[in-house]
Amino acid sequence: MGFVGLHAARCFLDAGSRVLLTRYRTWRAPDILAAELGGDHLAVEQVDLADGWALLEVVRRYGVRSLLHLAGPPLDTPPAAAYTAALTGLINVLEAARQQGLERVTVASSIAVYAGCPRPPATRSGPSRRRSRRWRWTMAPTPAWTCA
């Protein structure tokens, strides 16, 4: 679990939500969530997003109503394998959401998308705005861990 996911979980818990965290292989018990571990509002499950059936089973078992998808392959994953893993995981998340009729699916990323990029398109001090014919892409100037 990464920085953004752990802090998002903290914000959801502070707002009174029940939170299910998923992990692939590694797990660390972060200080910001320690008080809730083992309680009624925070659960942790091991899930491989490449296994759509396992993901669907966890979503069903916990009665998930909305989902924040932040998972991605490790930074040292070769590009073709990274794209395959990321796309497979996203497809399985969206399919589990469709089958369960989830209220909301949010997909976000992190600075990890710029690994190996010689010059990232934005910094915390200023956004980058790029336009295409169909979409307007804006990188928020506010750090992702700002919840309020």
Residue 107 lies in a domain: yes
Distance separating alpha carbons of residues 63 and 66, to the nearest angstrom: 9
65: domain CATH number is 3.40.50.720
The tokens of 142 are what? 């506010």
**Residues 64-108 pLDDT 10s:** 999 989 888 877 888 889 889 989 999 999 999 999 999 889 888
Q: What percent of the chain lies above the pLDDT cut of 90?
A: 24
Domain that holds residue 63: 3-111+119-138
Residue 89 lies in a domain: yes
Distance separating alpha carbons of residues 4 and 111, to the nearest angstrom: 10
